[in-house]
Copies of this chain bind each other. A is one copy, B any other.
Amino acid sequence: MAVINGSSRENGNTDALTQKALDGIRYTSFYLKNYKINPIDDQRHVAGGFDKVEDDYDELISQVLQHDVLIFATPVYWYGMSGVMKNFVDRFSQSLRDEALNFKKSMSDKKAYVITVGGDHPRIKALPLIQQFQYIFDFLGTEFAGYLIGEANAPTEIFSDALSLENALTFNKALLKHTEK
């Protein structure tokens, strides 16, 4: 299991809720902010296809693909995933053209979960983000196995939001059950 974390901070609320949600589960964390990931340069329709990009994406995605279960953990920034995570996801278009990677087939064998934490009514206002992830996973054939929405703003606030913590516990149980199968 791998966590792809789109926060700009470590030890923020998204991190904290993710750790609660994954308690007792072994997983690898990828903090996107620690990688150099360029925005996509859309060369899908250019003769010769995508140029090689001098950044960390190729290495990162090949590591990510070694995991069967992916957790996309992102703060809700402006009612969407963070820009850092969006740049990562945008580069999937490049991976789709990378024949050696077998990207779509690989993703279609995986389960994905989303964990997201926001400050402004996220249980309503992060729903377009959940719907966006649904379309992403539908396209890739990835099973969208569940999501967890937390509410918090200032650091450590998540620890005082009882509903978020209860939901994390429930998410944890479901995840343990799914990963046992």
Contact = CB atoms under 8 A, between A and B. Distances in A.
A135 to B, nearest CB: 4
Contacts of A33: 39
A147 interface: yes
A100 interface: no
A118 B10 CA distance: 34
A31 interface: no
A128 B87 CA distance: 18
A81 interface: yes
A25 interface: no
A39 B34 CA distance: 12
Nearest to A40: B8
A117 to B, nearest CB: 12
A13 B6 CA distance: 29
B124 A39 contact: no
A125 B135 contact: yes
A84 interface: yes
A175 to B, nearest CB: 10
Nearest to A7: B42
Counting chain B CB atoms within 10 Å of each CB, which of A33, A77, A83 scores highest? Answer: A83
15 contacts: A9-B42, A39-B82, A42-B77, A78-B90, A79-B132, A79-B135, A80-B132, A83-B87, A128-B128, A128-B131, A128-B135, A162-B173, A163-B170, A166-B173, A167-B167
Top-4 shortest CB links A-B: A83-B87, A128-B128, A83-B86, A166-B170
